[in-house]
Amino acid sequence: MPYSPEHKIQTRARIVESARRLFNRHGFQQVTIDQIMADAGLTRGAFYHHFDSKDELYAAAVASFATCNPFAAKMSGGGLSVENPRQLATMLVDLYLSDEVLDDINMHCPLYALPSDVARAGLEPQQAYTDLIRGMSEVYRLALKGVRDADRRAESMVSLCVGGMVLARTTNDPGLRRSLRASARHQALSLLQA
């Protein structure tokens, strides 16, 4: 008896979530299909029922962060909506640069967890990464609606958030980790002011 369409969707989601976690922890090159499938509780043969290549899975794992991530869960749980874009943008900056996110590798966004891997990856992962950048920029752009240089400010906010986290992850000095993120947060939030 063949599996139901719902089962296939759930299995694919399980593979993508396992891949996202493992890629965040170890990087694209260090993670094998066998490791991903074992983490998902499946066999290697099942992989090819859902994906044609590791690159395709990598793109799906990066893209999954846009809808199935701790940020989305926390934001929707906070009752914020697009009707209040400035509050949503502020919450995103605060959460993105928080101790909670820095300390929990499973919450790390591919924008700062995987940039070197994506730069060397194929077109599918790069497109998924590009979509994440544009999505995050759009949150900030909506908060800046009516501001003359909204596009520049939104992209600067993305750069500050991602860059602040990239640098914070690279140092073993706790004070510098806090200072880098606090500085990025201050500058990003100042860009929200019209």
| Model confidence, pTM | 0.82
- What pLDDT digit, counting tens, does each position of 60-101 carry? 998 887 654 445 555 444 444 556 899 999 999 999 999 999
Query: Which residues does 64 contact at the CB level (< 8 Å), separation at least 6?
Result: 16, 17, 20
The superfamily (CATH) of domain 70-192 is: Tetracycline Repressor, domain 2 (1.10.357.10)
- What pLDDT digit, counting tens, does each position of 10-40 carry? 999 999 999 999 998 888 889 999 999 999 9
Query: Which residues does 134 contact at the CB level (< 8 Å), separation at least 6?
Result: none
Domains 5-52 and 70-192 share a fold: no
Domain ranges of the chain: 5-52, 70-192
Fold annotation for 5-52 = Arc Repressor Mutant, subunit A (1.10.10)
